[in-house]
Amino acid sequence: MKMAPDIDMIKSFDSSYFLHPWQDCNSESSDYNMIVRSEGIYLFDANGKKYIDGPGGMWCVNLGYGRTEIAKEIAAQCEKIPYSSPWFSSTEPAALLSHKLSTLTPSDLNTVFFTTCGSTALDSAIRFVHFYFNCLNQNDKKVIIAREKGYHGSTLLSSSISGKERDKRYLDTIGNGIKFISDINPNLRSLETSEKEWCNIKVLELEKTILEIGPEKVAAFVAEPVLASGGVIIPPEGYHQLTWEICKKYNILYISDEVVTGFGRLGHWFASEKVFNFIPDIITSAKGLTSGYIPMGATIISDTLMTDIKESKNNSELLFANGFTYSGHPVAAAAALKTIEIMENEEILQHVQKITPHFQKRLKDLGKKHKCIRDARGIGLLGCLEGYSDEKLNEEDRLAFDHHFGSLIDKAAEKRGLLLRPIINMCVFSPPLIITKTEIDLMFDILDDAVLEVEKHFQ
């Protein structure tokens, strides 16, 4: 009989051999919570403790855990045809998925380039942009404008267009050909500046940057509809439409990074058009595409761009020499098709739209109740608590608070059965979209208690 592995041994293997993402290599020993079971919005650790999965995996397990329909689809596809080279062949799930996605995206965004994750979807978008302008003989158009606090991935290229400075402290990125514009967080504006004025300042900054570089050298602007891991920063009203207009004015492509906001997080398949009223040239997607059950990403390109390329050179070869062994992987495509089918059958988008006002009200109420919270912001089923250290605190306590607010809240919540994602002085959360009103209440009741504990500690 096969013996169950000893959990202490598993933990020691994890600590000794598994270098986790964003791991502090200087910490004496890593002690990751060993998750052994899952169901609905809940995770269970090796001690049998039950947690609400506040971050929904990593903004990805949109349909929650224990979806046997997806598991069965994955198993069936593995038996039928687990892999087929996308260089020389295609498979039914990949072809069906590309068509299905074309019906869910806005306007003429109909060409799907499959990738392995969000980072490679962004890499492929940037490479496609360069390819596009090279085909059009506009070879000087190379510069990508990105934003401070943006996050687009962890490959060399996608990390280079990411604007979280702390992440670049020990890692090199490409500086050449990438230009950043400043943080759009409306909370950074002065008391005298209205949100509308703030929006105009940021839009003008984009235009000024384009003019400084020279529009003939700028290829694309890349932006998340909502800056997710930058702290759930919601742009001022009209920002995306206005930046889109600037891009159109100077023949610059707009890449909308919907890796987090796609697939229902804001109550729509994609947020660019439905929530923010603009149609980008390229959308990048991943995470919720397969509900996190298996890795897959997609770079979705407009027909307009594809036609421009085709018309650019008479019958000469236009090789888009970019791709991955696992582009359009049939097992991942089958999981994505099943995810979309469940979302349609269970009316998940409608559920998110219905439940969002309650989620956002509980979030805002929490912010109003606790003095140690500077801002409780969110949109759809995305939320963030940002800490505020009382001026009356001594210097040491203020520093501790500002650096550790996120992890202190996270620890206090974890004790009470809720997982969060701490980011310095913030905590972000994005629970599975299937969360019910009762579960939202449970989540915010725990959060309320956790904030109270941290608040008391600093009194």
Among 77, 98, 160, 229, binds ligand PLP (CB under 6 A): 229
Q: In terms of CB distance, is 106 or 150 closer to ligand PLP?
A: 150
Among 129, 283, 286, 366, binds ligand PLP (CB under 6 A): 286
Among 222, 228, 300, 363, binds ligand PLP (CB under 6 A): 228
Strand partners, 40: 65
Q: In terms of CB distance, is 167 or 453 closer to ligand PLP?
A: 167
Interface with ligand PLP, residue 152, by CB under 6 A: yes
Minimum distance of ligand PLP from residue 146's CB (angstroms):
11
Minimum distance of ligand PLP from residue 355's CB (angstroms):
22
Window of 132-140, 150-158, 262-270, 424-432 that interacts with ligand PLP by CB under 6 A: 150-158
Residue count, binding to ligand PLP (CB under 6 A): 15
Minimum distance of ligand PLP from residue 122's CB (angstroms):
6
Among 113, 151, 276, 429, binds ligand PLP (CB under 6 A): 151
Q: In terms of CB distance, is 91 or 119 closer to ligand PLP?
A: 119
Convert the chain into a string of H (helix), E (strand) and C (coil). CCCCCCHHHHHHHHHHHCCCCCCCCCCCCCCCCCEEEEEECEEEECCCCEEEECCHHHHCCCCCECCHHHHHHHHHHHHHCCCCCCCCCCCHHHHHHHHHHHHHCCCCEEEEEEECCHHHHHHHHHHHHHHHHHHCCCCCCCEEEEECCCCCCCCHHHHHCCCCHHHHCCCCCCCCCEEEECCCCHHHCCCCCCHHHHHHHHHHHHHHHHHHHCHHHEEEEEECCCECCCCCECCCCCHHHHHHHHHHHCCCEEEEECCCCCCCCCCCCCHHHHCCCCCCCEEEECHHHHCCCCCCEEEEEEHHHHHHHHHHCCCCCCCCCCCCCCCCCHHHHHHHHHHHHHHHHCCHHHHHHHHHHHHHHHHHHHHHHCCCEEEEEEECCEEEEEECCCCCCCHHHHHHHHHHHHHHHHHHHHHCCEECEEECCEEEECCCCCCCHHHHHHHHHHHHHHHHHHHHHCC
Task: Write each residue from 88 to 127 as x if it is in contact with ligand PLP (CB under 6 A), else as -, in one continuous string.
Answer: -----------------------------xxx--x-----
The span from the CA of 377 to the CA of 214, in Å, is 36
Q: In terms of CB distance, is 286 or 385 closer to ligand PLP?
A: 286
Among 153, 330, 387, 431, binds ligand PLP (CB under 6 A): 153
Q: In terms of CB distance, is 75 or 171 closer to ligand PLP?
A: 171
Q: In terms of CB distance, is 122 or 446 closer to ligand PLP?
A: 122
* 8 A C-beta contact, residue 128 and residue 111: no
Q: In terms of CB distance, is 226 or 309 closer to ligand PLP?
A: 226
Q: Which residue is nearest to ligand PLP (CB)?
A: 118
Q: In terms of CB distance, is 389 or 430 closer to ligand PLP?
A: 430
Site for ligand PLP in 254-283 (CB under 6 A): 257, 259-260
Contacts 24+ apart (CB under 8 A), 167-172: 167/22
Q: In terms of CB distance, is 224 or 273 closer to ligand PLP?
A: 224
Window of 178-186, 253-261, 364-372, 400-408 that interacts with ligand PLP by CB under 6 A: 253-261
Site for ligand PLP in 397-436 (CB under 6 A): none
Site for ligand PLP in 314-373 (CB under 6 A): none
Q: In terms of CB distance, is 125 or 279 closer to ligand PLP?
A: 125
Interface with ligand PLP, residue 299, by CB under 6 A: no
Q: In terms of CB distance, is 117 or 234 closer to ligand PLP?
A: 117
Minimum distance of ligand PLP from residue 63's CB (angstroms):
17
Minimum distance of ligand PLP from residue 339's CB (angstroms):
15
Angle at 267 between CA 72 and CA 74, to 5 degrees: 10
Among 224, 273, 375, 455, binds ligand PLP (CB under 6 A): 224
Beta strands 143-147 and 178-181: pairing type? parallel
- CA 114 to chain CA mean position, Å: 17
Binding region for ligand PLP (CB under 6 A): 117-119, 122, 151-154, 224, 228-229, 257, 259-260, 286
